[in-house]
């Protein structure tokens, strides 16, 4: 597909202080876009992962603190933007077991607020963020967009709800929304709630690596590839009203992932199954492997970063920021 200029486009990113959101904001600034970065309000004036951007890129952002759960805030924030990337979400599966009512408020009602504001303002393009967790355990692999949805956690259920709202706003009101469904993104700035930085930080600063079930298989996709997919789908008219998967197309077990990371670190440490981290049996998603042929067909996307290269970059980030990790604490 032809290249599209982001220069002077007014773009809003919800969840801009998060892991993927911060990388997306950085890429948009690099591309010349005028970026409004919505972050969750904090009395500490904390910009989250945007703090890691170089100063010259931070000054290219308009940072707006607030909460997508507030419809009045969202309505004001979306006004006048050409593209809205909706990444704001309450993430992590383990926390959804202990605080389940929080998830619909952010992931369903927050998404509803974004869609309704986009409808009110006539926003030309909305990109909604899904997750491979909406599929549940693979019934076949690789998993294309026709794979059945199955909520195996309150988190997954809330994301399915948001996805279906996006679909409904396209069908009922013609809101030009496309849904990107990334498989497991990883890379610098991801917290220890992600399995890769959890393994890296424990191995780097501890004497053992404590994990949950070691058998599940995940499709790990480096964050720059995920960001490239966000920017590509935003320029693709054929994706409006549709859902598109993005992932590496290769699966790796958690056990093999731990072995690979330990080898890259040059360490031999025990990998221990911690029962506190093991998910309930029917909630565990045993396999996720992406079929991203639709992304290749619609907007020419394919992954470019090999797993070991991405892991090496992630390791360097953890090594440079030891203060961000608490390897002895289970980050839900």
pLDDT tens-digit readout, 202-247: 999 999 999 999 999 999 999 999 999 999 999 999 999 999 999 9
Give the pLDDT score at 5. 87
Report yes or no: 248 and 224 within 8 Å, Cβ to Cβ: no
Structural domain boundaries in the chain: 10-186+222-247+291-303
Give the pLDDT score at 107. 98
Q: For strand 83-86 and strand 61-66, is the pairing parallel, antiparallel, or unpaired?
A: unpaired
pLDDT category of residue 3 using cuts at 50, 70 and 90: low
Report yes or no: 277 and 215 within 8 Å, Cβ to Cβ: no
Report yes or no: 107 and 91 within 8 Å, Cβ to Cβ: no
Q: Which stretch of DSSP H or E encloses residue 246? A: strand 243-246
Residues 88-123: tens digit of each pLDDT: 999 999 999 999 999 999 999 999 999 999 999 999
Residue 187 gets the label, from left (phi > 0), alpha (psi -120 to 50) or beta, of: left
CB contact set of 55 (below 8 Å; sequence gap of 6+) = none
Report yes or no: 249 and 225 within 8 Å, Cβ to Cβ: no
Using the 8-state DSSP alphabet, how is residue 51 labeled? Answer: G
pLDDT category of residue 1 using cuts at 50, 70 and 90: very low
CB contact set of 11 (below 8 Å; sequence gap of 6+) = 28, 33, 34, 35, 36, 81, 82, 83, 84, 85
Instruction: Share the mean pLDDT of the chain.
Output: 96
Report yes or no: 221 and 256 within 8 Å, Cβ to Cβ: no
Residues 53-81: tens digit of each pLDDT: 999 999 999 999 999 999 999 999 999 99
Query: Which of 68, 80, 148 shows the shortest CA–CA distance to 115?
Result: 68
Q: What is the pTM of this model?
A: 0.96
Residues present in the chain in total: 332
Residues 140-181: tens digit of each pLDDT: 999 999 999 999 999 999 999 999 999 999 999 999 999 999
pLDDT category of residue 330 using cuts at 50, 70 and 90: confident
Give the pLDDT score at 8. 85
Q: What is the CATH number of domain 10-186+222-247+291-303?
A: 3.40.50.720
């Amino acid at each position: 597909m032809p290249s599209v200029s982001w220069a002077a486009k007014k773009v809003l990113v919800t969840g801009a202080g998060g892991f993927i959101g911060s990388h997306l904001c950085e890429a948009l600034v690099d591309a010349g876009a005028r970026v409004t970065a919505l972050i969750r309000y904090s009395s500490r004036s904390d910009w989250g992962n945007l703090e890691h951007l170089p100063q010259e890129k931070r000054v290219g952002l308009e940072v707006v603190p607030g909460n997508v759960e507030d419809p009045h805030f969202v309505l004001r924030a979306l006004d006048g933007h050409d593209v809205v990337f909706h990444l704001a979400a309450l993430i992590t599966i383990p926390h959804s077991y202990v605080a389940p009512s929080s998830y619909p408020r952010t992931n369903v009602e927050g998404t509803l607020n974004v869609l309704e504001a986009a409808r009110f303002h006539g926003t030309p393009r909305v990109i909604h963020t899904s997750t491979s967790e909406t599929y549940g355990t693979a019934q076949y692999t690789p998993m294309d967009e026709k794979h059945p949805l199955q909520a195996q956690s309150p988190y997954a259920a809330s994301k399915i709800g948001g996805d279906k709202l996006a679909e409904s706003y396209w069908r009922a009101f013609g809101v030009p929304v496309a849904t990107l469904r990334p498989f497991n993104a990883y890379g610098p700035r991801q917290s220890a709630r992600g399995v890769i930085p959890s393994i890296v930080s424990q191995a780097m600063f501890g004497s053992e690596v404590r994990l949950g079930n070691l058998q599940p298989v995940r499709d790990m996709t480096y964050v720059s590839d995920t960001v490239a997919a966000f920017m590509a789908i935003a320029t693709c008219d054929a994706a409006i009203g549709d859902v598109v998967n993005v992932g590496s197309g290769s699966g790796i077990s958690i056990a093999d992932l731990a072995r690979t990371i330990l080898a890259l670190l040059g360490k031999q440490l025990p990998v221990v199954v911690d029962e506190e981290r093991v998910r309930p049996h029917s909630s565990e998603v045993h396999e996720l492997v992406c079929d991203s042929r639709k992304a290749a067909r619609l907007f020419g996307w394919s992954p470019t970063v090999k797993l070991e290269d991405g892991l090496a970059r992630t390791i360097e980030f953890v090594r440079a920021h030891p203060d961000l990790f608490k390897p002895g604490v289970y980050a839900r």
